[in-house]
Structure 1
Amino acid sequence: MSWDWYQLLPTRADEFKWIYGRTPLSNMWVLYGSWLLYFGGVIYVRWIMAERRRIDRGHPFIVIYNGSMLLTHFCVWTTGAWTMYHHLDISFFDYHCHPYQLRGRFFYGIFACYLLRYCTFLDTLVLVLRKKPIQFLHWYQHMFAPLILWSWLDDQSIFGGAAIIIMSLVLVARYAYYFCLSLSCGPHVQTTLKVLVIMTESVQTAAGLFLTAYQRVHCPQSSSVLLSACINITIASIAITYDQKPTAPVTRLRRKSMAQLD
């Protein structure tokens, strides 16, 4: 394994360049191995917790985890937003399919978010430690999110940079809500943050459809856009159809979002 570990350093973000097999965690076997560890680890911890009491949401581990994820995703969001603003003056959308001029910090933001998606596997561990039910959509999203980000990096998708800003903002709102719950914030603050999460997720869905359609028109040969479209459509389908009651799709999506946050 000949990974260039220096690419992990934020101080060298301007020199970052995704190279399969050289960039840390860029090999496909890393994705496959992470899925095995993910499922195996959750099953093992569930077995361990079978005869033990669940931990409280105010447990120090949960507080520290939610706080650290909030901080790191906020850093990714600010970095991505600054980079996107910097590139707006050079006709960002004119790069279309193969933005070889856009390297360094622009793609380092996607890479940082890609690494964090492996850390978010611990979301499932928190649910297991609290003995909460794990919905299929939770498994699906956490399993395929790293694959989507990997495809953006490998395909040098410029739209991945815009998607990262939106995705990071959603995760900032989500972990702010979790952090608030772990600190037992007031009900008004909790309700406000929950509404904020649902609103940002709605924006993420709409923006994802727009960016996917735009890239599909300009880059029909792109493999990442097809993969993203398939996974996102599947996620939306699962979210809409999970509740078999005769309610409107928007209501089902809202219920699904709120159920995941509780």
Structure 2
Amino acid sequence: MALLAYTAFLAFPFLWLVSTAFKPPRELARLHPTWIPDHPTLDNFRQALREQPLLRSAGNSLLTAAACAVVAVVIATPLAYVLARRRTRLTRAASAWVVVSQAFPLVVLIIPLFLLLKSWGLVDSRAGLVMVYVVWSLPFALWMLTGYVRAVPRELEEAAAVDGAGRLRVLVSVIAPLLAPGIVATTLFAFLTAWNEFFFALVLLKSPDEQTLPVVLTHFIGAGGTPDLGPLAAAALLATLPALVLFAVIQRRITDGMLAGAVKA
């Protein structure tokens, strides 16, 4: 019963978003709204696509999130191996810092990040935003992958070492294939973090051609703070669908990866 209630609680915002996206303005103005539109329409989607560059901003978000996910995982995998296998004071301190760094509020980080990127000429650029996203996603990716590496038996590495394999060969040929479920799960979480991120993109990107989808969604809110509900819901639904489709396609792989990492995390 509790599980059903929790599922309904999570599903309510999405179902209401779908309902709102297909309602005409007259139904949106009702005092007592209904779940199912009496006269469903696609006008909200047409208006949203006509008023704002959703496709271009979606492409920006896709490229930025994909680059962030790939770079973060490529960096985090060997670092996670070191943290998991070398239990020294330095690695313990690094592991503790990874956890503590997640508690820093974004407002504290944005000013030094902005000044640093400005000195490098990377403000208002996709490359600068990818760098920020990688730095922001790296601690969580490290924390996840470290648990997955600890779940891999050391005996496999020892057997490969006896056969003459070096550490790099062991990591690439032995550890990485066993980490595939965890790498997929970590990549997806890094991708979704960058896809949905708003604050850094709002501050660092000023050019309309470079803005990501979450920033463009705010353009549906008028100067007086009153949102255009129909087009906003339609645009938000379009922004949500890629993540849902991606999650549905690799859901089994994600579940396997999370269970694998939970064994010795």
TM-score by length of 2: 0.34
Tell which has more relative contact order, 1 or 2 (C-alpha 8 A, sep 6+).
2
Q: Which has the larger radius of gyration?
A: 2
TM-score by length of 1: 0.34
